[in-house]
Amino acid sequence: MGFAPRRQEDIVTANIECAVILAAGLGTRLKWLTHRRPKALMQIAGEASVIRIMRRLVAAGIRDIAINTHHHAAMLRETIGDGRRFGARVVYSHEPALLDSGGGVRQAMELLPASEALLVHNADIQADIDVQQLAGCLPRQGAVLALVDNPLHHASGDFCLHGGQVTCCQGRRLTFAGVSLWSAAVLHRWPAGECFSLLACIRDCMERQQCRGYHHDGHWFDIGRPADLYAADRYYRSR
């Protein structure tokens, strides 16, 4: 899907080189499946979800990756290591107490090289989103959200998309895909080490009309529920 025209001077043109994968969640919706392993290590077509994500990010040119950890943190480290066998440089941001999505990103980015843009990817999302395409419309002081058609488990959606801008206005609603690109300067407005939701950062960008959206119409799975995990596994095994 395309974007609405925008002023070029408002857009960051840097390539995406750094990413944070959010993998600290408890995975409570997966019930018994996460008793012995974290959600990020759920198997899809014979490979852990987080490793599938890392391979796609590396293929897109992203080499520096921070992963936040909490639940079964040691297992994640043992499985992934330093990332060299995947072509990446992986660091870990451990959270003894969960910092929520925004706080997790803010702390993890302190471990990455300085960059203009930062990709944030939920560890329970499997999709063919072209992350480098998001960089084509990143506001210099804002964010770009990947949005998808509403799944059955979230029929009311999250946001509307008007002329490329993400809003809460009336209209057709879409669901946040769990993949977003941020101007690092925006995230630095929040202090590291505090607990807050990424939604607070999204709302701040929306209020300043610096939150753009990309409507992804390819495949997308949120594997946070057993039925969706099995659906993703079947889909990728059939390819």
Residue 70 in domain: yes
HSE, side-chain direction, 13 A CA sphere, residue 43? 5
In total, how many domains does the chain have?
1
Q: Which residue has the tokens 């889909």?
A: 235
pLDDT per residue over 78-106, tens digit each?
A: 999 999 999 999 999 999 999 999 999 99
- Domain assignment of residue 223, given as a range: 14-237
pLDDT per residue over 204-231, tens digit each?
A: 999 999 999 999 999 999 998 888 999 9
pLDDT of residue 205: 97
DSSP run (H or E) holding 215: strand 211-215
pLDDT of residue 11: 58
Residue of higher predicted confidence among 195 and 11: 195
Q: Return the CATH number at 60.
A: 3.90.550.10
Q: What's the whole-number mean pLDDT along residues 99-122?
A: 97
Residue 9 in domain: no
Residue 146 in domain: yes
For the entire predicted model, the pTM comes to 0.92
Residue 7 in domain: no
pLDDT of residue 8: 45
> What is d(CA 227, CA 103) in angstroms, rounded to the nearest whole number?
29
pLDDT per residue over 139-175, tens digit each?
A: 989 999 999 999 998 999 999 999 899 999 878 999 9
Q: Which structure tokens are listed for 230?
A: 């099995």
> What is d(CA 228, CA 25) in angstroms, rounded to the nearest whole number?
17
Residue 2 in domain: no
Residue 5 in domain: no
Residue 112 in domain: yes
Question: Which residue in 197, 181, 229 sits closest to 41, CA to CA?
Answer: 229
CB 200 within 8 A of CB 102: yes
Residue 4 in domain: no
pLDDT of 5 > 60? The answer is no
